[in-house]
Amino acid sequence: MAYERIYPAQSVEPAQITRDEGLMLYEDMVLGRTFEDKCAEMYYRGKMFGFVHLYNGQEAVATGVIRAMRQSTDYVCSTYRDHVHALSCGVPAREVMAELFGKATGCSKGRGGSMHLFSAEHGLLGGFAFIGEGIPVALGAAYQTMYRRKVMGDTSADQVTACFFGDGTSNNGQFFECLNMAALWKLPIIFVVENNRWAIGMAHERSTPEPEVYKKGAVFGLPAYEVDGMDVLQVRRIAQEAVERARAGEGPTLIEALTYRFRGHSLADPDELRSREEKDQWFPRDPIKQLMTHLTENGVATAEELKSIDKKIQLHVEDSVEFALSSPEPDPKDLYKYVFAED
């Protein structure tokens, strides 16, 4: 089977947005991109250590899904590529950057680093280093929402959970088992496959006989969609429908977003496995530039307004670095703190 998908097979109408929504989406995506670029700078300057997996190119997926949900009350489960998911959830840039520097002011108190961001306050259930590890956690969050509402009679329990993972993870057992349970119990969960075509160095078409991941949802009788993951308005449209279904008690949705990471698997990856021809097909489809064009050509915003947002975000990210650098290291006396629940 040839694997040449760049545009999705399914036709998806883009979401209709107001001016405020358009500017919100643009600002969120620019924040993600600018933050990740600054992470790369800090890493290559020897200021940041460990494994760092950046999200450049995939911003439309995080923004399109998470910003269609309720911030703080809904739940999000991420992967090791979790910085931008955290920012879209509303975790302050200062806390995310401080965590990447291993500081006590980080959202995980300096104990999680790049791959293990967590914020109960913002509904971020964690970044997970092992692929598929976060799917059962997300399923559990969705199950408790269903249980509280249907069994305990808590009418306020209408939270929706979004679970992000990559194309490589869609071949793992957790994916199939959790889709089965979610469909069986009609859990309020959205499974989001960020198909960037590569699982580290494994090309997607070499790892599965059916590279169109969304088709796997039909086995479990749940709605499944393939969207252009470089178009935030397409992602937002499907995400809004999935959120509405989940909140109404109609069960899960599987979304496969066709996207592309503009950098290597991690900052330690020289990115020599992907061909120049493949990259050249995807780079012109930059999701931020596409949204910028839509906003200006449709009179939603002016180029000057968008440049103003760019400058504001740049200062915001610079501030997060200064905050992280000036923050204290975790106290060695607190080594065992947060290991067990405390009164």
Q: What is the pLDDT of residues 72-131, one digit of tens each?
A: 999 999 999 999 999 999 999 999 999 999 999 999 999 999 999 999 999 999 999 999
Q: Tokens 């460990």, residue?
A: 50
What is the Cα Rg of the chain in Å?
A: 19
pTM: 0.95
Q: Residue 1: its pLDDT value, please?
A: 38
What is the rounded distance in angstroms from the CA atom of residue 96 to the CA atom of residue 115? 11
Fill in the amino acid letter for 292.
M
Q: What is the pLDDT of residues 284-299, one digit of tens each?
A: 999 999 999 999 999 9
Closest CA to 102 of 164, 51, 41, 162: 51
What percent of the chain has pLDDT above 70? 97
Tokens of 15: 């979401």
Which residues make Cβ contacts (< 8 Å) with residue 130, sequence separation at least 6?
none
Q: Positive or negative, the Cα torsion across 293, 297, 301, 304?
A: positive
Q: How many CB atoms lie within 10 A of CB 126?
A: 23
Q: What is the pLDDT of residues 177-225, one digit of tens each?
A: 999 999 999 999 999 999 999 999 999 999 999 999 999 999 999 999 9
Q: Using CA atoms in the order 97, 293, 307, 261, what is the torsion angle rounded to 10 degrees?
A: 20
Q: Residue 2: its pLDDT value, please?
A: 47
Q: Positive or negative, the Cα torsion across 34, 40, 46, 51?
A: positive
Q: What is the pLDDT of residues 212-267, one digit of tens each?
A: 999 999 999 999 999 999 999 999 999 999 999 999 999 999 999 999 999 999 99
Q: Residue 4: its pLDDT value, please?
A: 62
Q: Residue 9: its pLDDT value, please?
A: 67
Q: Which residues pair with 254 in a beta bridge?
A: 191, 224
Tokens of 25: 């989406």
Q: Which residues pair with 119 in a beta bridge?
A: 124
C-beta of residue 192 within 8 angstroms of C-beta of residue 65: yes
What is the rounded distance in angstroms from the CA atom of residue 176 to the CA atom of residue 171? 8
CA distances from 52 to 150, 162, 237 (A): 41, 23, 31
Fill in the amino acid letter for 33.
R
Domains of the chain, each with CATH number or no CATH? 19-322 (3.40.50.970)
Alpha helices by DSSP H, the chain: 19-44, 59-66, 83-89, 93-100, 134-150, 173-185, 232-247, 276-282, 287-297, 303-326
CA distances from 89 to 29, 117, 124 (A): 12, 11, 7
Q: Residue 3: its pLDDT value, please?
A: 54
